[in-house]
Structure formats: structure tokens, C-alpha cells
Structure 1
Amino acid sequence: MPITESTALALERRSHAHSSQARAPLSKASGVSMSSSPYYLQGSRFTIRMNGVIGWLARRGFSLKGTAELSVRGRKSGQQQRIPVNPHPYEGAEYLVSARGHSQWVRNMRVAGGGELRVGRTVRAFTAVELPDEEKLPVLRAYLEKWGWEVNQYFKGVTAKSTDEELIAAAPDHPVFRITVKP
């Protein structure tokens, strides 16, 4: 069931209470080290509207520079939640990176362990494993090389040209999942 813009805004207000950081506790199942107050940059009304347009285009088969619509089961509602994402191929594997931090889709993915990527009628079901912070460096650098023009503002000044130390420092704020498409 699709989430309307008004539903998304209501959920965002309720879950974030007008804060730029999420307050809900994170799942301990992933074993990934995280800061005590997880980073999450809430989307503006414009961003939410644009995500709706990009998701609508992906459902109809139009991928903008590789975007796809992610569908993942909600950890509380059990309903499929949808959001456009930028699947990132790197060294023979495919990854999902959360530029905005510990978002709702990230929390849902940790519980669900997978989901679906859709572009038009092509639906790819997958399983997902979250990378520990120490394994994120090359994936984050490659992701920022490709998508930096779109996501740099969410990385607090860290870019693809940043030092390894700067990228490693940013790693806890940006969950990365290695996805494996089911046959």
C-alpha cells in the first residue's frame, strides 16, 4: 500500500518530534557500532514531494541515473513501505547507502533483512546485510564519487576526495547494506 505525502509527513512529525535526529532506539541485531544519538536528517516538504515523483517514475519504468523504488516491510505496521533509493554497484556487489542517516527505511531493513527494488515491471527481491563501520570506507567513497552531486549536503562536508580518516569518522552516520538479489 503506497504512503501518501500527508501520511509520510504525519509519520515523520510523530517519529521525529521536529528534531533533526531520530529518537527511537535502534535494533541491536545488526551488531553495527553506532553513536548514542543516531544521525538522521529529516527531509523537507520539497524533498518528500520529489521522492514521491521519483518513486512514481520508477514504478512506471523511468530510472533517473539508476534510481529504483525500494519496498521494505515496516517493522511496526507490517505494511510495505516505499522510497526511492540509489542502488550502488561496487566491485561486483550491490549496495544501498543511507545518505540521510538512520532513516525509517534503514530501521525497517534491519528488522526485515531484505526487500524489493522496482523499476517498472522489473522487481528484484533481495536479502540485505548491514556492513560494520570499518568495511564502509571504499563503498562510501565510490558512492560519493557517483552520487555526491545529489547527497553531499547530508555528509556534513565529507566528499569523495576527503581523507580516509574523515570518511571513517562519517561512517557511523551512514548505514550501508550489501544486497544479494534472490534468484
Structure 2
Amino acid sequence: MPNYLKPPFVTSRIVNPLISTLRLAPVLGTRGRRSGEWRRVPVNVLELGDSIYLVAPRGYTHWARNLLANPEVELRRAGRTERFQAQPVPVEARLPLISAYLEKWGGNGGVKEQFGQLPDPADHPAFRLVRSP
């Protein structure tokens, strides 16, 4: 099993739903890899130039595994929902993304500590989001 840092109960059952409901962060929608049902979770989005990326600081999270199984996603932000195809970023191309992600989000909710617990870029799936037609 790939490395994964399970979020604390308070994060997964209270904080994340509250953030999603109050629209305090972008919300990623993925299809469950087994159930096929839509799953939603708040995420930190990384924009570099014209590209949009998602990086999983906790490792192979459920949303990351869902994207690997089904790359069709929805991203709700600023009151709009957009559809994307998630393209996995190869391990050898992740380090610059992780550095940029840490620069932008490293002070947010233990992100830096999560990368410290899983220092290998191979432990952090990353995806480039390409708008669906």
C-alpha cells in the first residue's frame, strides 16, 4: 500500500465538511473508485502559469486514489463548478511542484509537517488539471 497519512477525525468529519459548506476553499469532486459515487473534499489548488495542479500532502489519499482510477473531476471554486481531466504528474517532475506548493501552502494546516513525515516526492501524487470541453 502506498504511503498515506490519515487525517485526524476532527479534520475529516468536522473541519473539512465545514470548509466545504462555507466555501472557504476549493472543493474537489471525484468519483469513488469502488462505489462510483461522487466524493467531495476541500483542496489547496496550485496555479503555475496557465496550469492548475493538485498535490496530495498526505500521500495517496482517497481523492488521489480516486483520480488514478477515474480522472474525471469537478472543481468548485468562487461559486463556479468546472470539469477537468486529471493527468498524473510523473514522479521525476513532482519536486518543482512540491516546492511551489510548500511555498504557497506550507503554513496552512500542518502541510509542511505532512511533507516532513513523507519526504519522498514519490509519496505525493500530483495531478495537472486540464479543462474538459
- Per the TM superposition, whether the score is higher than 0.5 is yes
Specify every segment of 5 or more residues in structure 1 that has no aligned partner in the other structure, as ranges: 1-36, 159-168
Letter in 2 for 1:123: T
Structure 2 residue corresponding to 1:179, chosen from 126, 129, 133: 129
State TM-score, norm by structure 2: 0.90
SS at match of 1:149: coil
Letter in 1 for 2:11: T
Which segments of structure 1 move beyond 4 Å, counting only runs of 4 or more? Answer: none
Letter in 1 for 2:106: G
Aligned twin of 1:57? 22
Letter in 2 for 1:180: V
**CA deviation after TM superposition for structure 1 residue 157, in Å:** 6.2
Of all paired residues, the percent bearing the same amino acid is 38
Aligned length: 130
Q: Report Cα offsets for 1:71-110 as digits up to 9, x if no partner.
A: 1111111100010001110132110010100011111111
Aligned twin of 1:43? 7
Name the Cα RMSD after superposition.
1.6
Aligned twin of 2:97? 139
The answer to whether the aligner puts 1:110 opposite 2:68 as a matched pair is yes
Aligned twin of 1:126? 84
Aligned twin of 1:164? none
- Structure 1 CA distance, aligned partners of 2:88 and 2:127? 4
Aligned twin of 1:76? 34
Greater relative CO (CA pairs within 8 A, separation 6+):
2
**CA deviation after TM superposition for structure 1 residue 137, in Å:** 1.4
Judged with a 3 Å threshold, the aligned counterparts in structure 2 of structure 1 residues 138 and 117 are, in CA distance, closer, same or farther, namely same
The answer to whether the aligner puts 1:148 opposite 2:106 as a matched pair is yes
Specify every segment of 5 or more residues in structure 2 that has no aligned partner in the other structure, as ranges: none
